[in-house]
Amino acid sequence: MSVIVGYMSADRGRAALELGITEAKLRGTDLVVVHSLHGAGVDDDEDVVASDRDLEIIDEELSKEGITYSIHNFVRGNAPAEDIVQAASDLGGEVIVIGLRQRTSAGKFLLGSNAHDILMTAPCPVLTIRV
């Protein structure tokens, strides 16, 4: 069983990662960080390079946490929700951890397509943290 973290280069991604680390330690299990870009011309080359750099930093930080972990950087045309849910299914996810951002009044009507899709299709419980 694994704690699956849906990671993105934003405050909510960092918050999800920190909560995921805590959960992995509490549960005595490994941590799987899943980062997903569409690729195929949808993401700028600069975004891809920046995310690679960010994931290298995360790798350095996680190596000091005393937990078993892996980082998956998917660039295969899927929506992030698809990659996160698939990783949870394939890797025996015990829980998925995602970050949510504060929404405006109008935005509260919609949770966010990726967050909504993860909540509706996850094969395990989903733990959220609001930023």
DSSP-derived 3-state class of residue 32: strand
Domain coordinates in residue numbering, the chain = 2-130
Per-position DSSP letters for 58-113, written without gaps between them? HHHHHTTTTS-EEEEEEESS--HHHHHHHHHHHTTEEEEEEEE----TTGGGS--H
Q: What's the predicted TM-score (pTM) here? A: 0.88
Task: Give yes or no for a contact between 111 and 99, defined as CB atoms under 8 angstroms apart.
Answer: no
**Distance from C-alpha of 121 to C-alpha of 12, rounded to nearest angstrom:** 20
Q: What percent of the chain has pLDDT over 90?
A: 66
pLDDT bucket at 9, cuts 50 / 70 / 90: confident
- Tell me the pLDDT tens digit for each residue of 36-73: 986 555 556 677 778 889 999 999 999 999 999 999 99
Strand 69-75's sheet: what is its strand order?
69-75, 30-37, 2-7, 93-100, 126-130
Q: What is the mean pLDDT of residues 8-24?
A: 95
Select 2-130's CATH number: 3.40.710.10, 3.50.50.60, 3.40.50.620, 3.40.50.1820.
3.40.50.620
Q: What is the mean pLDDT of residues 90-99?
A: 96
Which pLDDT score, from 0 to 100, does residue 70 have? 97
**Distance from C-alpha of 19 to C-alpha of 3, rounded to nearest angstrom:** 10
